[in-house]
Structures are given as structure tokens and as C-alpha cells.
Amino acid sequence: MDQLRRDPVVGRWVITFMDKPYAPGDFDIKHFPDKKGPCPFCYGHEGMTPPEIQAHRQGLSRANRPGWSTRVVPNKFPALRIEGDLGRQGVGMFDMSNGVGAHEVIIETPDHKKTLADLLDHEVEKVIWAYRDRSIDLHGDKRFRYIMIFKNHGYTAGASLTHSHSQLIALPMIPKNVNEELAGSNKYYEYKERCIFCDMITQEKEENERIVCQNSRFLAFSPFASRFPFEVWILPKEHHSDFSLIQTEDVIELARILKDVLLRIKSVLGNPPYNFIIHTSPVEERERADYHWHIEIMPKLMHVAGFEWGSGFYINPTPPEVAAKYLREAKI
Amino acid sequence: MPELRKDPVIGRWVIIATERAKRPKDFKVEKEEAKKGPCPFCKGNEDQTPGEIFALRRSRTKPNQPGWDVRVVPSISPLLAAEGDLGRRGKGMYDLMNDVGAHEVVIETPEHIANIADLEEGQIAKVIDCYVERFLQLEKDKRFKYVLMFKNHGRAAGGGSLQHARSQLIATPVNPKRVKEELAGARKYFEYKERCVFCDIVKQELKQKERVIIDIDGLIAISPFASRFPFETWILPKKHSCNFYDIKPAQRRDLAGIIKRVMLKLKVALNDPPYNYVLHTAPFRRPKGGYWKTIDADYHWHIEIMPRLTHVAGFEWGTGFYLNPTSPEDAAKILRETKI
């Protein structure tokens, strides 16, 4: 019999197929051709982006010239604008404010053909350092309350350019989903006086059927109530609530496990589109006992339809136990 | 400068792009190939579906034979199975239960027509009659707390490749999270203002007029102030009512009329886009210590139509923040002026 599984943090239910689970080959993954014309994220095209905010560069190369390994630039078509005040106001019963915020692009490699999974460990480390450095910098801007780092890979996951990149958005309010996650973990903490994510790590290690891979500092597993087939979460084994306080050794191990998981997904599913999001504590109250930062990786293998939109229920045709087994056994 | 707008009911924020605002022609609607072979939803192919649950039929026609106008059948691949107990249980810190529920398909026409926009008003009224009938029947099953009525049109909206107009009903054993959020938001507003938030929306929209698409006697179609999606459209009854299936027969005809006009405008303005529509209505009120005491006054049924013109990406999934490249004022104006 199929199961309804409840996410312990935010309480959403997932219809999980147990009887006839989908295998990797059952998903229809469409690949879209690369956009024509010069790519603004390639070497020599630095002038096509707004001037860089920061870059890892070798030797004496100059800003906005080739010679970089990762490069952070403002989004050319930002969803939010960096200048100005919030100007919160009411319009009758409605509330609104100006669209103030930061929207940056982290170009992960100068190599147009490589995905994040194909980079070397030390190259992935530089990407993570860029995430951290930009978070720390934006924490200083009093207008911002939340910093969201995410990646869209592939056209159907929302990536408009194929050249490997991630994005950062600093927001003037705490987004709804983040509030829900914080509220759910806080409720658990008040009841148990333990972090819900720490408990999850303990149970996953004990049951040992949803673990994808691990190293000395991080655990990657398919969550019990996975919304999407082959969804994977990466959690630091030690309790930390704020991603931006990550230390050097953790950056090294995070780079390894992130690359490892992405390679497994790529190998099992054939380079599917995916999103990943770093879930971390808000700018105020960065260090807290009731929250645990982590990365959620969501392959986009299916269309989300009316039922999911209307109900907040999800339908997952591959039980996480089955997905984890495929990913564990992947040849990489 | 882009705007941040807050949905007054559930409190999610939407970024509305004001520069580089997108017009209908900026969205690429991919055309799909129709599935080949006989359609199980056409008249004459009744034996290709599971036996019908309910149908509006001409007199002296037999079940599972031609002669029907609207037909309700169990889904061939149900997401929830009808038999059995819930069996709620824990597994360590996790909770789970059996997938008890009902999953039905409402075949909206015996003809092979893909879009509800192309049905006659009278036919759409019959579809509404069927919805009401199924809600009344499913309410009797005490295991169910909610019925979600929705429609996926087009492949990108999850409608598959079968191009025959239909909607779906899923009865769930728990109140879905999205529904709970909306109910909680509406209740909070009511506690503060002692008014229904949706009635206030209707009043403000009628006064401001700039987001109104169609305004008829008992119903209104608007582009909501904090639209998540370009050309998102809501249809609301002007008179307060929390339960969709209390709708009077006379009003069903008006609802059919406004659905037809909205769908036709979307089809014409956006070149037959994929869309989802979802009916938002009150749950079955199973007794629970005073929990439902204000729902009659604080909640208001309505239909939300979401054209699927953009890909929802990592940012939206992670935050519940949406990016909408077409302001609802522009969308409403375009739809108002669309000739049908």
C-alpha cells in the first residue's frame, strides 16, 4: 500500500508510491539546446556582465578581465534593486513595499561546458567560499533580513543560461517558507529541547536506509518525506544554524560531499535539471539552538500540477529508500 | 522600481516586475502533440475507463454506455486509494499513514474537446452540477476532511497528452497544508476586523476597478493584487459564502458563464496556454473543539486560475516568494480588452 508521509518540520504531507515505485528510467527528461550567441559568463566576455563584486583570481589578473576561477557579479536583470528604501505602505487593505534587495550571480567556473559536479574539489571549495563571503558582506546591510543562496540547473529548473552559476538574493523580509521552517523546528525544540535536524541525523544513521553518502563532517540522505523523486539533503553533522559561519575544514568537506551527491544524481538520472537551496538562519538570530542549516537538492523530474498547487500535498513516485539505494550504488 | 506585494490572506510576498514587464507575446507557449489512438473519455469508449460513479444522462440510457453529458469515473491511476483505514502511525520521529482517499475524474464533455473554454455555457453548468453532487456524496464518508477540485490543462500544467476536457477531485483524509494556511489567514483577519478578508478584497477591487476583468451580477473575476503568476485570475462570488456546494442552481449558470468568458479570454490573449485551476472551498467540518466556530463568517469560496507561462525555479521553491513579470493591473487590462 502507498503511504502518506509527513514532513516533521513543516508538516506537509507527501503521497509516496510504495507499490510500483518509479525507477530512474521512468522519468522523461528533456534536454534543451544551448542558447545561441556569446555567453556572458565565459572568459573574455566579462564586459557583458555588470562589473564584478568579487572574484577568485590568479596572480596579477585585473578585475573584469580573464584570469578568474569564480566570479560574483550583480544580476543583469535583478528581481530586486539594491538602491533605495523599503518604503512600506498600505493600499487600502493591501500591503506593499519597494522591491529593495540584492540579486547576485556566482559564476562557478570559466569553463562553459562543465557543471558544478564536474569541477575539482578545490574549485567547488572556491564556490562555497564565494557563497560565504557574499553572505557575510550582505549581513552588514541593515535593510536585509534573509540571504538566500540557490542554484537552478537546466532550463526546466529555471536556468536561463547553461553556463554553471548559482544565485544569491538578499531579501528585506523573511520569506514565508523560511518562517514556516523556523516555526516548525522551534515548536519541536520547545517540546523536546533538542534540535529536530540533529534528531533526524541520529535516526537516519540508526535506520541506515536513506543515507546516500557521508564524510567526517556531513551527512547526505533522501529525507523521509521527500517531496520530489531523488530529493537529497546535506546536513552538517555538528549542530550549526548559520551557514555563513562555516569554517575552513567544513568548507573542504562540504565541497566534497556536494560534488559527490551531484555526480551521483547526474550519473543515475542523466544530468537532470535540478534546484538546490541553502537553508540557513535569518540575519537576526543567526545562532540558535532550534535550527540547523542544510542544503536541499531537488531534481526536477515531474510537472507540479493543480493538486500540488492547491493542496500543498506532494506526489513522490520514488520512495526515498529506493532513491537512496540507487544513489548509493551509483558508479562515479 | 519593482514592487513587493503581500497576499492579504496567507501573507506570502510577491515581487512584481515593473520594468521589462512581460506582455503576452513574451511568453513562449510550447504546443504539444496530441496523443494518438482512441480517447478513453470520448462517447462510445466508456469501457476504457473504470465503471462510472455518477453521470448526467439522457433518460433511458444505461450506465457506461453513450447518452451522458458529464461523466464521473475513478482515476485509472489513483493517487489515493478508496479502501481501508488510515492507520496513522509513527516511525521514530516520523509520522505516516496509509494513502486512503478518493480520486475521481470529471469528464466534462462526451465530445473530444480539449479546453473548457470551448464548451457551451449550458454544458459548463452541468459540470458544476456534477461537482456539487460529488461534494455532497464525498462529505458522507467520515474518513475524508477535504475535497480538492482542480484541473490541469496542457502538458506543462500536468495535464498529460490526452486532449479531452476534464477536472479531477481528490478527497483527502487530512486537511491539506495550503488549505490550512488559507483558513488560518482568513480567521486571523476576521478576529482582527470582524469582516471576511475575501469580502473586503471584492469591495476594494470593485472600487479600484484596475484589477477587475469581468464584473457580473453575483460574481467577479480579478487579477489578484499579489498575483504569483502572470495572468493569474480569481473568480469570487460577491455574496459571502464559505461552501462552494451551497451554490444555488440559478447561480451555477452565472458561474458557468464567467468561467467560460475568463477561460476564453485567457485562451485568446495567451494562445491557449497550459493552466491549472483550483477550487478553494471550506473543508468538511468534522467536530473539533470549537475549531470551526467562525468559518461560516470568515472564509469565502473562490476559484484560482494559474496559467503556467514561467518555470517556477529554486528561488520560489525555497522561499515561497514569487517573481511575477506581469503586473496584475497590466494583466487585467489586457484580459479586459481581449475580444472574445
Q: Is the pLDDT of residue A295 over 70?
A: yes
CATH number of A3-83+90-329, picked from 3.40.50.620, 3.10.150.10, 3.20.20.70, 3.30.428.10 = 3.30.428.10
Spatial distance between the Cα atoms of A153 and A50, rounded to a whole number of angstroms: 22
- pLDDT tens by residue, B201-217: 999 999 999 999 999 99
For residue B31, give the C-alpha cell.
504546443
Q: Are the beta carbons of B10 and B181 closer than 8 angstroms?
A: yes
Distance from CA of B54 to the nearest CA of A (A): 22
Select from A13, A145, A280, A294 the residue whose CB has the most chain B CBs within 10 Å, as the one to mutate to test that interface. Answer: A13
Q: Is the pLDDT of residue B80 over 90?
A: no
What's the whole-number mean pLDDT along residues B263-276? 95
Q: Are the beta carbons of A14 and A5 closer than 8 angstroms?
A: yes
- pLDDT tens by residue, A88-128: 889 899 999 999 999 999 999 999 999 999 999 999 999 99
Lowest mean pLDDT among A45-54, B72-81, B129-138: B72-81
Closest to A97 (Cβ–Cβ): which among B4, B97, B306?
Answer: B4
Q: Is the pLDDT of residue A326 over 80?
A: yes
Identify the pLDDT of residue B82: 66
CATH architecture, domain B7-27+41-337:
2-Layer Sandwich (3.30)
Spatial distance between the Cα atoms of B128 and B134, rounded to a whole number of angstroms: 10
Q: Is the pLDDT of residue B74 over 80?
A: yes
Q: Secondary structure of chain A: what % helix, strand, coil (to 5)?
A: 30, 25, 45
Contacts of A149 in chain B (CB under 8 A): none
Q: Are the beta carbons of A125 and A253 closer than 8 angstroms?
A: no
Positions of A marked catalytic = 165
Cβ of A225 and B317 within 8 Å?
Answer: no
- pLDDT tens by residue, B83-132: 778 888 999 999 998 888 999 999 999 999 999 999 999 999 999 999 99
Domain spans, chain A = 3-83+90-329
Task: Name the phi and psi angles at B147, rounded to 5.
Answer: -120, 120
CA of A274: which chain B residue's CA is closest?
B314
Type and span of the H or E element at A207: helix A196-207
Contacts of A312 in chain B (CB under 8 A): 176-179, 181
Report chain B's mean pLDDT, rounded to a whole number.
Answer: 91
Between B63 and A79, the higher pLDDT residue? B63
Q: Is the pLDDT of residue B75 over 80?
A: yes
What's the whole-number mean pLDDT along residues B63-70? 96
HEC-encoded secondary structure of B176-213 = CHHHHHHHHHHHHHHHHHCCCHHHHHHHHHHHHCCCEE
Q: Is the pLDDT of residue B220 over 80?
A: yes
Domain spans, chain B = 7-27+41-337
Q: Taking chain A, what is the end-to-end CA distance rounded to the nearest angstrom?
A: 33
Closest to A310 (Cβ–Cβ): which among B81, B150, B200?
Answer: B150
- pLDDT tens by residue, A210-252: 999 999 999 999 999 999 999 999 999 999 999 999 999 999 9
Question: What size, in residues, is chain B?
Answer: 340
Q: Is the pLDDT of residue B20 over 70?
A: no
Closest to B314 (Cβ–Cβ): which among A93, A200, A276?
Answer: A276
Identify the pLDDT of residue B158: 83
Task: Name the phi and psi angles at A220, rounded to 5.
Answer: -115, 125
Residue B264's pLDDT band, with cuts at 50, 70 and 90, is very high
- pLDDT tens by residue, A1-11: 788 999 999 88
Spatial distance between the Cα atoms of B306 and B320, rounded to a whole number of angstroms: 16
Q: Are the beta carbons of B69 and B123 closer than 8 angstroms?
A: yes
- Least Cα distance to B106 among B82, B74, B77 occurs for B74
Cβ of B315 and A13 within 8 Å?
Answer: no
Cβ of A306 and B13 within 8 Å?
Answer: no
Residue B314's pLDDT band, with cuts at 50, 70 and 90, is low
What's the whole-number mean pLDDT along residues A302-312? 81
Tell me which range, A131-140, A151-160, B85-94, B159-168, is most confidently predicted by mean pLDDT: A131-140
Residue B17's pLDDT band, with cuts at 50, 70 and 90, is confident
Lowest mean pLDDT among A55-64, A300-309, B254-263: A300-309
pTM, to two decimals: 0.91
Confirm or reject contact between A148 and chain B (CB < 8 A): yes
Task: Name the phi and psi angles at B34, rounded to 5.
Answer: -75, 145
Phi-psi category of A208—alpha, beta or left, where left has phi over 0 and alpha has psi -120 to 50?
A: left
Contacts of A233 in chain B (CB under 8 A): none
- Residues paired with residue A220 on neighbouring β-strands, in sequence order: A213, A234
Contacts of B170 in chain A (CB under 8 A): 307, 311
Residue B275's pLDDT band, with cuts at 50, 70 and 90, is very high
Spatial distance between the Cα atoms of B215 and B197, rounded to a whole number of angstroms: 19
Paired sense of beta strands A94-98 and A274-279, if any: unpaired
For residue B214, give the C-alpha cell.
469581468
C-alpha B308: how far from its chain's center? 14
